[in-house]
Chains A and B, each alone.
Chain A
């Protein structure tokens, strides 16, 4: 199913082996690309992962259900909140726990805030990959304002442990909604500057247009999801197709493109940031500000979840993110499998798209696919 490329004869003297990574300018996370180049054109690409393997799935088999909620947020470093939500949702489904409405809204708000923070870092990464160091500083600074909001709401900037089985840990502090709106206004202002600087920049346009083209017939063959698929015209978004939490109560558009190259994928993600800001503002207007935010739970220190299995998924910045959970009726889960979009985007797809690319554009290609190695090796 991989594209068949001509075999490389390293003894011919035409090719040089280069090792790109595991550090990358686009802050994708740590993975290596073993490149065989002919001149400055990539002839072969093999990916090497494992730098961030922490053994989470084995670890979680030896922890009780409540202990695992402090562990899951650390699986995917840049977007911990989705892990918290999906683990909680999977356990709640098998344990038959209903979450109060206020908690559903708070979870939606939390996920969208996480999406905003993740996209701000990504926008800086894609800019830096094409030489825009200043844009990186702008977006990461504004990501810091978002992390300040997380710190106020949850007590932590990155690993919040805020979404727990049954609901969330707390409601909004006093005045939080106004402070959040002020941050959203700041982010919208910087996004206008980013649009002016990045998307009309001749260098960025020249280098990114036509880079790493994904066609519609590749999408299902490679399991491509999220903005990578939407940028080639496929209107697939779990928040609309299989609504969860309160996404059926907010209005937003599913942004699509026409030809999924690096430029179009950047544009689609940039537009999704504006949609995300709109969702956040709607959450602040519509969510109930009082009422319970956590369901009545059994004694979590001796919690036996009934035997069963399920697969829950959510639309993260990179597409379908899922948790497959199997329980056997004991106090420990039997099996948990974390399905990250980068599993296919950063391995099979990257290896095929890199062939024929200019060496200088490999970093930009990788970041345009929005790869996150932590979710590949877990």
Chain B
């Protein structure tokens, strides 16, 4: 998208924009530093027409030692979306809030606090439970959270089949005395 290239050129004068990639004509990604991200996002919203926040989510790159936040912004007039990537440390995980730009951002930030442990100071109801009432373990979407270990510690195994193989299991039920 020619306009997107012009947009990147224009904002590169004020921000350090890296890893620019056009996935398809209607979607592109770029990365900006943590200190500049909210300013760039506000600029895109107020002056470039990216007025819709589709979502805000996080990816845990545990092997690289950071989270990548993805802010997906959409421009209805241009029919174009930009995924703004921001890398933040895993510990402590904190990012400036954008709840003043979009009302739904507070909900996304609340979920990211609960699921990844990422804090957004000043975001409304940030410490209220979102999905996990009474959760007392590490944020579960982090890659180090072991779902199998959690299940084995919290729940009891019901007496069931010893074999994972459906054929062996059915043979035992139907023909318990048969030896293959």
Contact = CB atoms under 8 A, between A and B. Distances in A.
Interface of A: 1-2, 46, 49-50, 53, 55, 57-58, 62, 93, 220-223, 236, 241-242, 308-311, 313, 320, 322, 324, 326, 334-335, 337, 339, 343-344, 347-349, 352, 377
Contacts of B33: none
Given A221-B102, A322-B54, A347-B107, A58 B140 contact: yes
A184 B105 CA distance: 41
A14 B59 CA distance: 46
A344 B107 contact: yes
A311 B107 contact: no
A344 B107 CA distance: 8
A222 B27 contact: no
- Chain A at the B interface: mostly helix, strand, loop or mixed? mixed
Given A311-B81, A322-B55, A222 B131 contact: no
A223 B141 contact: no
Given A53-B131, A62-B147, A324 B27 contact: no
B27 A377 contact: no
Contacts of A349: 103
Given A49-B130, A348-B107, A1 B52 contact: no
Contacts of B145: 58
Interface in B99-123: 99-108
Contacts of A241: 76, 79
B72 A324 contact: yes
Nearest to B57: A337
B147 A58 contact: yes
Nearest to B104: A344
Contacts of B130: 49-50, 377
Nearest to A3: B103
Interface of B: 23-24, 26-27, 29, 51-55, 57, 59-60, 70, 72, 76, 79, 81, 83, 99-108, 124-125, 129-133, 140-141, 145, 147
Residue with the greatest number of chain B CB neighbours at <10 A, chosen from A1, A310, A322:
A1
A50 B53 CA distance: 23
Contact of A55 (B79, B104, B140): B140
A93 B24 contact: yes
Given A58-B147, A221-B102, 10 more contacts: A1-B99, A1-B106, A46-B125, A220-B102, A221-B103, A223-B104, A324-B57, A324-B72, A335-B57, A377-B130
Contacts of A222: 102-104
A191 B131 CA distance: 38
Contacts of B29: 309
Contacts of A221: 102-103
Given A55-B140, A309-B83, A324-B70, A49 B104 contact: no
Nearest to A334: B59
B76 A236 contact: yes
A326 B70 CA distance: 11
27 contacts: A1-B100, A1-B103, A2-B103, A46-B125, A49-B131, A50-B129, A53-B132, A58-B147, A220-B51, A220-B102, A221-B102, A222-B103, A222-B104, A241-B79, A242-B26, A309-B23, A310-B24, A311-B23, A311-B72, A313-B54, A320-B54, A322-B54, A324-B70, A326-B59, A335-B57, A337-B70, A347-B107
A58 B141 contact: yes
Contacts of A337: 55, 57, 70
A308 B2 CA distance: 22
B104 A343 contact: yes
Contacts of B102: 1, 220-223
Contacts of A223: 52-54, 102-104
A1 B83 contact: no
A2 B124 contact: yes
Contact of B103 (A49, A313, A320, A348): A348
Nearest to B26: A242
